[in-house]
Structure 1
Amino acid sequence: MKATTLLTTSLLFYLAEAQQLVSNWPNSIGEWPNQYSPHIHRPLPINVSQTEFETKMKEYQRVTRGTEQQREYQPIVPTETHHEPDGGVTLKFSSPHFKVAEGITLKLLISNATLHVAIFQTLANGHKVVVKSSFIPRAPIWVDAYLQPSTEINVRISCGHYCKVQYPTANVQYTIGHGSRDLGINSEGNLMCSGNAQPHDACCMTKFKVKFEELEQEGLEPIFAPLFYDASYCGNFYCDTHPPHYYTMIKNHLLYNPADPPESECTPSAYQPLRVLTVHPDNSDILVVQVWEKAVAKTCGCV
């Protein structure tokens, strides 16, 4: 099996496990349990308010301050709002933070919708894209949409003639002075794999980044922060150095598996945790900060 296939399988498997809430709630920073479940069946849709989002984003900023996950956060309100004859609402957002944004999450409260809501974003080239399309109840509910970063944000909400849109906010996550930083990439002086790495190459780390929004589209619980996951992995390439007990390991392996010669494996030798902001599995109205203890490969070594 190729490394990329292994990565995809293990990543989704790990994310399925990690999204189970730690057992010591409300002290939600701790080990994740051992049960695996890729989906959480909620009795109600996710309904996180803007106030709850801002409160928990501040908590997330506090626990990630001084780490490689540190990001700045700013809620932006519309500079212009227009109500159209067909019941649609157009919004315009402007902020200097958009230029350095890693991602923008639009939140708004919708009521009296005709069961379906669609949110469109007009890009800088004039092209319109659908950033949200879903069925929602008529009762007031908070709706989220991931917007594409741009110097100016223009969106249109379509939810019926009698629909009411309240408290629209563009929540921006960005960095200051460092650009987009990769979590743990080469921070320990790891040899980075080249784009044309071969099986005989030395043990190295392969850079790989996953967008949580894409995993959410596959049915996993939404992760509001961070926006990206550093899934960089150690390439399964040739290792020319081995631990002191390697000879004993090889001898025992050949003794019990004579037809299966062992191969040197380049695997993670150290990990670093990943802090995530996600939805509480038992309460769709609140967010919780979790720690995934062994989420990011920090160093690679031969075994």
Structure 2
Amino acid sequence: MTTKTTQTVDAAAAGTWTLGDRTVNRLGFGAMRLTGSAAFDLGSSRDREQSIRVLRRAVELGVDHIDTAAFYFSRLRSANELINRALAPYPDELTIVTKVGPGRDASGAWLSWATPGQLRGQVEENLRQLGRDHLDVVNLRLNGPGPLSDHFGALAELREAGLIRHLGLSNIGPEHLAEAQAIAPVVCVQNRYGLASRPDRSGDLLRICGEQGIAFVPFFAIAGEGREGGAAPDGAGDDDAVLAVARAHGATPAQVRLAWTLGQGGHVLAIPGTGNPDHLAENVAAGALRLTADEMALLDAAR
């Protein structure tokens, strides 16, 4: 059962946060699944017109924060180019966040993590695909432990040159955030975090980001560990606590997981992704779902 207000809830119901000088609704949209039914699967492509309709409907529902990357593509679809086709010329209030560091070749195989000198090419490819002269936010996604100063410094130079407005980080530990902040301001951190997947370092970062006024943007907040390859039926794998809270609110388990995510703090943003118009409306409606303290505690204990 979905929430009764699924078709009318606006993303603004989740409240707002700032990414630098950009104010966004805390319920956003992740573009990864626009290209296919499974992440990074070249053999699976969604219907192009449906993906375009989903993007346009997301904006109609108040979504003003879209997360994407040039390496989100299937054999026939590119997330960035779908965004360009659906939404350009872009509304002034729309914030598009992309990420650099990883890359894939035309066959879909992952390339070595970009060198600092290669990051400009990745930024320019995002600009080309999106049809923009600057990028609102660029996240540097790390590919493992080690220093990031040379890579983040290269992006800071592109920020000074006007190609990037704001900088963020992804897949990091607290030490990386401190290292990056010594080079340039960080407006957001994007790490794996959700009701079913709470790595210790991400929990530490959630707290640190809250203390410093930095947006914390979990990915796979709905899917959880091991489910990012494709959408499981809603409720599959959910424990009794999630199902009980969902029944109490007339909501779906996915909506409960999103509400729990947003309940972690006013600085926490959610970017659920889908290529399904009905699921889009349900995800946006989750921004209006308020869980009680007892319900949050019950879910916290469930793991």
Same fold (TM over 0.5): no
TM-score (norm 1): 0.27
TM-score (norm 2): 0.27
Structure with larger Rg: 1
User: Greater helix percent: which structure?
Assistant: 2
User: Greater strand percent: which structure?
Assistant: 1
